[in-house]
Amino acid sequence: MITSENLVPISSSNADSSTARDLTLVETLRVLEVARGLRQEREVAEVALVRDEVRTLMRKRLMEAAAITGDRITEADVDAAIEQYFATQHIYADPPFSLSVALAHVWVRRFSIVAIMSLILIVWFVCSLLFKHLQ
């Protein structure tokens, strides 16, 4: 794996057009790979930092809301609630079955249903013609 330690920095004095032309395709690809890796690591760190900021802000607002309403909540309770919120934030749960959900499923599968019904009607029509012809 190529890391930033393997790269030799190019100073401005020797960073002319001849140096850029001397780089092979493989070397250029290595430089681009390292740059992409560093950018991805920076993005991961930024996401973690934002998540910590959001947790701090949520903790502060929840404690303020508890103080306003007069609820006695400890910081451990607030931290547990925040952890539960983040743990279940991106979990999908099917909606409870109802007529609207059934109609949505039918609407999504409408072309399959039409194709199956058409096939059944064609088979029924052919069978009825055969029975009439045999009698």
- Phi, psi (deg, nearest 5) at residue 16: -105, -175
pLDDT, tens only, 82-114: 889 888 888 888 999 999 999 999 999 999 999
pLDDT, tens only, 40-95: 888 888 877 788 888 888 899 989 988 898 888 888 999 999 889 888 888 888 99
Question: CA-CA distance, 127 to 114, in Å (whole number)?
Answer: 20
- SS3 of the chain: helix, strand, coil, percent, to 5: 75, 0, 25
CB atoms within 10 A of CB 116: 11
Q: What pTM does this model have?
A: 0.41
Domain segments of the chain as ranges? 1-93, 95-135
Residue type, 129: L
pLDDT, tens only, 9-18: 554 444 445 5
Question: CA-CA distance, 6 to 30, in Å (whole number)?
Answer: 10
Q: Two tokens at 113?
A: 């249903």
